[in-house]
Amino acid sequence: MRLGFHISIAQGFSKVIEKAKKTECETIQLFSRNPRGWRYHELNLDEVEQFKAKRASSNISPCFLHLPYLPNLAAIKEELYTKSINSLCEDLMRAKILNIPFLIVHIGSRVSLSEDEAIERVIEGINQSLQRVPNQVMILLENTAGQGTELGSNFLQIQKILSGVDNKERMGICLDMAHAFQAGYDISTRKGLDDTLNEFEREVGLKHLHLIHLNDSKTPLASHSDRHWHIGKGYIGLEGFRNIVNHPLLTHLPGIMETPRKDLKDDVRNMKIMRSLIKD
Query: Which position among 18, 49, 69, 202 bears the catalytic label?
Result: 69
Return the number of other C-beta atoms located less than 10 Å from residue 138's C-beta.
19
- Give catalytic status of residue 226 as yes or no: yes
Query: Which position among 55, 170, 228, 235 bears the catalytic label?
Result: 228
- Closest C-alpha to 226, from 145, 151, 149: 145
- Give catalytic status of residue 213 as yes or no: yes
Asked if residue 29 lies in contact with residue 274, where contact means CB atoms within 8 angstroms, the answer is: no
- Give catalytic status of residue 36 as yes or no: yes
Asked if residue 200 lies in contact with residue 206, where contact means CB atoms within 8 angstroms, the answer is: yes
- Give catalytic status of residue 69 as yes or no: yes
- Closest C-alpha to 36, from 65, 79, 67, 7: 67
Query: Which position among 258, 261, 266, 269 bears the catalytic label?
Result: 258
Query: Which position among 55, 121, 179, 208 bears the catalytic label?
Result: 179
- Closest C-alpha to 255, from 225, 220, 210: 210
Query: Which position among 90, 142, 150, 216 bears the catalytic label?
Result: 142
Query: Which position among 90, 150, 176, 216 bears the catalytic label?
Result: 176
- Give catalytic status of residue 106 as yes or no: yes
- Give catalytic status of residue 230 as yes or no: no
- Give catalytic status of residue 190 as yes or no: no
Query: Which position among 150, 213, 216, 235 bears the catalytic label?
Result: 213
- Give catalytic status of residue 90 as yes or no: no
**277 vs 59, 185, 233, 246, CA distance in Å?**
22, 21, 14, 8
- Give catalytic status of residue 252 as yes or no: no
Query: Which position among 66, 110, 170, 208 bears the catalytic label?
Result: 66
Which residues are catalytic, by number? 36, 66, 69, 106, 142, 176, 179, 213, 226, 228, 258
